[in-house]
Structure 1
Amino acid sequence: MVEEELMLFNKSINEFWNKFKSTDTVIWWGSEITYKAPIKAFAEKLSVKLKEEEQMVEMFLEYQNQICRQNNLLKLIAEVKGKKQELEVLTANIQDLNEEYSRKKETISTANKANFMFTNIDPKHPESPFMCSLHLNKAKDCEVSDRAPPLECQAECQENVRKTNSFSAFLKVFTAMVYN
């Protein structure tokens, strides 16, 4: 008997559901409720709203991606500006170094022009050039730095210049050393 009652109850639920789907009017606890639109129309409206919300979410995500790309571009632009400033500083440094190099090159050229070049020192080879550079060190002593050809007794020659403080004495010693 319980099975029969369950089958009857199931049948009545199915009938109620079928009536509910097909009508605009429902009887609820003895009261009649009239719907303004069928359930199907309501479901369609709800579906449209859901699609609109999905589109809004997609638009939001797209805007968010665009903002992220713009932020990345702004970062890249800032990096490029920074690199451009670094390049300008490096270019200025290179220019300064080139100017310093030119000054030093000119100083060396001037110093080379100031070197003492002699000929007619070696009677066997009167055209052979002999050269030496004299300068004062920090203690204001005269020093012989560059010489051609190199002399074995440079220390003696330099000491003679310091003792006598005479360039002509230096030349005599220099000539004597070359001649010997």
Structure 2
Amino acid sequence: MAEMMHEERLCDVKWGTLALLGVLSLIFGIILLLYPGITAAVVVVLFGIIVLILAFLALILALMSTGGRATLLLLGAIVGFIVGIIAVLAPIVIGALLVIIIGIVLFMIGIVDIAIAVGEKAYPHRWLLFILGILSIIVAVLFWVYPAAGAVALFGVIVGIYFVIYGILGIIAGFALRSVKKQYCMA
């Protein structure tokens, strides 16, 4: 009975989604590796511009609101203007902060991938998820240890390599899942 439920769950998984995520990750990684010098600065400056726009919108909402909500919106607008201006004028500072935050996210992704690989005994080719988890944790630790250097290399080199490897393994995992589905699922 448990084996039948596992096969039904496996048949519901869309292998093409995993393979498509792998292809998109691979393309994104190659683009980042082709333009490493300008990628980090451009991304941080664009982040700063977006924050400035959001801060301006928060200021407008604060001026149109009343009570405690207006105060919170005004405070958010002020913080947004400060962060946005720093991001535009000194992208390395905000870049280092972003590196630390991205490191936290990558660490969590790694933990989840490893937990699935260890916990889902019937998951096909779960060793790939385990490797993805280890890769994510290693990159996260590197970001925490070298945040300033990571701000420069983050989007260009390290994340580019990460996405290339993640893309290749994602494509492999997608097609491996496809072959398993062909074997167990009728449709």
TM-score class, shorter = under 0.3
Structure (1 or 2) with the greater helix fraction: 2
TM-score, reference length from structure 2: 0.22
Structure (1 or 2) with the greater strand fraction: 1
TM-score, reference length from structure 1: 0.23
Q: Which has the larger radius of gyration?
A: 1
Q: Which has the higher contact order (CA 8 A, sep 6+)?
A: 2
